[in-house]
Amino acid sequence: MFRRLLTLDQAKKLIDDLGLVALGSEEVSLREAHGRILAEDIVSSLDIPPFDRSTVDGYAVKAEDTYGAEENAPVYLKLAGAVNVGEPPTVGISRGETAEIVTGAQIPYGADSVVMIEDTEQKNNIITILNAVAKNENIMRRGTDIEKGETMLLKGQKVGSREMGVIAATGRAKVRVFLIPSVAVLSTGNEVTEPGRDLPPGRIYDINAYSLMGAVFESGGKPIHMGIAPDEEAQLRETLEKALSLADVVVTSAGVSVGPKDMLPQTIDALGKPGLLFSGIAVKPGKPTTMAIAGRKPVFSLPGHPASALLMFHLIAKPVIQKVAGRDSTEINTVRAFAGKRMFSAKGRRTFVMVNIDRDRRDRLVAEPVETGASGAITTLAKADGYLEIPENLQFIDENDEVLVTLLSSPE
Amino acid sequence: MFRRLLTLDQAKKLIDDLGLVALGSEEVSLREAHGRILAEDIVSSLDIPPFDRSTVDGYAVKAEDTYGAEENAPVYLKLAGAVNVGEPPTVGISRGETAEIVTGAQIPYGADSVVMIEDTEQKNNIITILNAVAKNENIMRRGTDIEKGETMLLKGQKVGSREMGVIAATGRAKVRVFLIPSVAVLSTGNEVTEPGRDLPPGRIYDINAYSLMGAVFESGGKPIHMGIAPDEEAQLRETLEKALSLADVVVTSAGVSVGPKDMLPQTIDALGKPGLLFSGIAVKPGKPTTMAIAGRKPVFSLPGHPASALLMFHLIAKPVIQKVAGRDSTEINTVRAFAGKRMFSAKGRRTFVMVNIDRDRRDRLVAEPVETGASGAITTLAKADGYLEIPENLQFIDENDEVLVTLLSSPE
């Protein structure tokens, strides 16, 4: 069996070299597109506004008819009709004429500017212009907001509130978005029991399947809960094969008990070609992290400790799921903070420290290390807002050093 | 009709005084709880770990049996049996005895510590202890991570990946979360046409319903699309009444054409008691923003300009939807940046400037104002990452001043 302990950078490079791409795309109603990733550029098929449009309530005129008009020397124009909003003009104007118009209505034929209603007086069919306008004044010309053919949004952009509005403006009611990858999540280990069941003596409840399902959502995937795989090679393999048939990506986490040391890597390697990509990364914590490719599908085996499993998911599995989801995997959620105390690295290994973020009395963000030892797996999970990284060549990060913290959950 | 033009702070105070609360709660499967808001404190119903647990692979012993043991003076213990992970121990040990144990397994009766396998040698049924251990060494005592009765998560917390793991650890498969409020979204105005239809002359496509539906998702609500209400009082009222019967909150945005100036506020006021809360806020842009309460349901009328509608949604409607969703409405998404140029306020009015955020050559975040004038409604929407606020008493914000920008969409 191919087995290598890689540095984190080597592991990431191997993953990059796979050249993973988005699964495919589907057309959805714009109403349902929120949170999805565009699988097409949005190009406007029309000028916006689609016609010359008044930006005020007032009177459409030929500007030259108003030249020199002022309060003491008004100009008198003949009212030729009115233009309503939402309707094409049924009136045109000639020299000496004007048409009533409201904000948003189309400029009638013959007019080249609009006098604001405040600068006019109305009496019968004679409109008194008290102020001159320049050509194009108070008009928004066709296509000045967006021109037909203009690219408004790019493939890969996430559809949020603003993007929904922009797409609607072009008249599109449907939009092509990337498929959401399904991610099978399973736990292994004889000591874990499904929440909701009675807890037999000597057992603990499964944590990882749930935190990892949450992390799958936060990566742009849709989790499929496979439950707990029995700690026996043939059954484990059967469960993994089922997971592989149901999902685009498989994520397992190891119970501490999982059999002979190499059982999981071996079983995962045997799922399909090309097989194991790496088994073991020189990081602390998270060393046993394993990844294989079966066909085109990535399969991950993460550590059993809940905080380590979530950390390694973020470092290794999340970028892969994001890529398969068509998401920009550089879309990473970080905050700058100050180290609350000195934090040491593990000798020669890239070290990650789980931290809790809080504000100090000076309103600075402070990152306090959270114990990841065996003494508090769930406490760690509950408290760790994110993690910081100590490079291999650094012995420690000192108190008050500025650090970059990657958040484990998105704020919203 | 009751009509007041308020300052933004007065409007917010009136809303606060309503004492709006979450709609109610429902029990959902933990698997489906991601993104929901806890409607209960999560209190552990068990000790975690639920038993004294070995943190290493090795041999469970009475510590006193090992005292003085070292490589040159080992201690010999009789192997009484083995404890597997996930099973209650079937062996107990007496003085002079030991039991094989693996990480995560329950400490057998009679043992008070574990010697790591590296510090032992095995031959037949005799285990050679090469290193002494202290009482409790390599044992995680029952309840040291979480004690039964300990409050682990609080009502109002959002369920993310970590929270899912923490809840699972307590053995819960269901969890009580706040109901998701439904928010009816409708547009008004004779000039707007539904995207997906042909655009008649003189018309533009409806933008606001779509950007506001997106904003509803981002506020923790579920939008109900009511389409475009006809610009006629009886029909508008009928559509609003239908919206009110279907949803918990109603959000309208005005087409520029909406009839006689007071038609929308009057119609909204007439929907139910107590009626209009305010109609008009002294802000720029967004002055015509109106809010009423019909029964217990908030009804909003927002401006027609897409960027202004989205801005006023954020300032006024979002905190209300968040409250009704049981969310912490202080959960606001801001970044600090430097003003890219001088930005002026409107005289005596709280002014909001839509800004685009980018990095400059020195890698600083810079907020550049985006034109909100009539000249580019959609361009504004596409470019404005957020907004900044200029207080009533400030004439301008100067170039390079540090500013706080509230983001219009969440980053994830």
Identify which of A89, A161, A210 has the shortest CB distance to residue B211.
A161
- Across the interface, whether the CB atoms of B214 and A164 are under 8 A apart is answered yes
Assess whether pLDDT exceeds 50 at residue B298.
yes
* Coil/strand/helix, residue A208: helix
pLDDT at position A412 is 39
Amino acid making up residue A254: A
Residues 320-339 of B with CB under 8 A from A: 331, 333
Separation of alpha carbons B352 and B389, rounded Å:
5
Separation of alpha carbons B254 and B231, rounded Å:
10
pLDDT confidence tier of residue A256, bands split at 50, 70 and 90: low
Identify which of A48, A173, A218 has the shortest CB distance to residue B160.
A218
Separation of alpha carbons B212 and B304, rounded Å:
12
Nearest to B67 by CA among B34, B102, B95: B95
Assess whether pLDDT exceeds 90 at residue A231.
no
Mean pLDDT value of segment B292-314: 94
Mean pLDDT value of segment B258-264: 71
Cβ-based contacts of A99 with chain B (< 8 Å)? none
Cβ-based contacts of B214 with chain A (< 8 Å)? 34, 159-165
Percentage of residues in chain A having pLDDT higher than 70: 95
Cβ-based contacts of A104 with chain B (< 8 Å)? 189, 191, 204, 255-257
Percentage of residues in chain B having pLDDT higher than 90: 77
Mean pLDDT value of segment A236-249: 96
For residue B304, list its beta bridge partners: none
Is the bond preceding B260 in cis, omega lying within 30 degrees of 0? no
Which residue of A lies nearest to B386 if distances are taken between CA atoms?
A: A162
Mean pLDDT value of segment A347-360: 90
Residues 128-147 of B with CB under 8 A from A: 140, 144-146
Is the bond preceding B285 in cis, omega lying within 30 degrees of 0? yes
Assess whether pLDDT exceeds 70 at residue A410.
no
Separation of alpha carbons B115 and B62, rounded Å:
10
pLDDT confidence tier of residue B231, bands split at 50, 70 and 90: confident
ipTM: 0.92
- Across the interface, whether the CB atoms of B195 and A167 are under 8 A apart is answered yes
- Across the interface, whether the CB atoms of A204 and B146 are under 8 A apart is answered no
The two structure tokens encoding residue A114? 């609009």
pLDDT at position A255 is 63
Tell whether A257 is within 8 A of chain B (Cβ). Answer: yes
- Mean pLDDT score of chain A: 91
pLDDT at position A259 is 63
For residue A172, give every residue at least 6 positions away whose Cβ sits within 8 Å of its Cβ, in sequence order, or none: A30, A42, B195, B196
Mean pLDDT value of segment A51-70: 95
Which residue of B lies nearest to A195 if distances are taken between CA atoms?
A: B171
Asked whether the beta carbons of B169 and B144 are under 8 A apart, the reply is no
Which residue of A lies nearest to B87 if distances are taken between CA atoms?
A: A202
Assess whether pLDDT exceeds 80 at residue A267.
yes
Amino acid making up residue A32: E
| Residue B362 or residue B100, greater confidence | B100
The two structure tokens encoding residue A55? 């930006």
Which residue of B lies nearest to A308 if distances are taken between CA atoms?
A: B162
- Mean pLDDT score of chain B: 91
Asked whether the beta carbons of B315 and B286 are under 8 A apart, the reply is yes
What is the C-alpha R_g of chain A?
32
Tell whether A88 is within 8 A of chain B (Cβ). Answer: yes
Separation of alpha carbons B187 and B208, rounded Å:
7
pLDDT 10s digits, A302-341: 998 899 999 999 999 999 999 999 997 665 688 889 999 9
pLDDT confidence tier of residue A404, bands split at 50, 70 and 90: very high
Assess whether pLDDT exceeds 80 at residue B256.
no
Identify which of A89, A202, A205 has the shortest CB distance to residue B169.
A205
What is the least distance, in Å, from the CA of A189 to any CA of chain B?
Answer: 8
What is the least distance, in Å, from the CA of B256 to any CA of chain A?
Answer: 7
Outline where DSSP puts E strands in A230-310.
249-253, 274-279, 283-284, 290-294, 297-302
Asked whether the beta carbons of A279 and A264 are under 8 A apart, the reply is no
- Across the interface, whether the CB atoms of B85 and A30 are under 8 A apart is answered no
pLDDT 10s digits, B309-352: 999 999 999 999 999 999 976 656 888 899 999 999 888 789 99
Q: Tokens 């995962």, residue?
A: A268
What is the least distance, in Å, from the CA of A296 to any CA of chain B?
Answer: 27
Residues 382-401 of B with CB under 8 A from A: 382, 384
Q: Tokens 């707990």, residue?
A: A228
pLDDT 10s digits, B268-282: 999 999 999 999 898
Separation of alpha carbons B371 and A198, rounded Å:
61
| Residue B374 or residue A192, greater confidence | A192
pLDDT at position A411 is 43
Asked whether the beta carbons of A186 and A246 are under 8 A apart, the reply is no
Mean pLDDT value of segment B67-80: 95
Assess whether pLDDT exceeds 60 at residue B375.
no
Identify which of A106, A167, A207 has the shortest CB distance to residue B168.
A207
DSSP annotation of A316 reads I
Tell whether A87 is within 8 A of chain B (Cβ). Answer: yes
| Residue B216 or residue B285, greater confidence | B216
Mean pLDDT value of segment B221-235: 92
Separation of alpha carbons B394 and A85, rounded Å:
37
Amino acid making up residue A183: V
Looking at chain A, how many residues does it have? 412
Assess whether pLDDT exceeds 50 at residue A150.
yes
Identify which of B163, B171, B379 has the shortest CB distance to residue A205.
B171
pLDDT at position A67 is 95
| Residue A347 or residue A280, greater confidence | A280
Cβ-based contacts of A356 with chain B (< 8 Å)? none
pLDDT at position A45 is 94
| Residue B221 or residue A259, greater confidence | B221
Domains contained in chain B, CATH given: 8-24+179-324 (3.40.980.10), 26-46+151-178 (3.90.105.10), 53-140 (2.170.190.11), 334-407 (2.40.340.10)
- Number of A–B residue contacts, CB under 8 Å: 310
Residues 177-216 of B with CB under 8 A from A: 189-192, 194-197, 199-215
- Across the interface, whether the CB atoms of B333 and A206 are under 8 A apart is answered no
The two structure tokens encoding residue B253? 């945005």
Assess whether pLDDT exceeds 90 at residue A230.
no
Alpha-helical regions (H) of B3-160: 8-17, 63-66
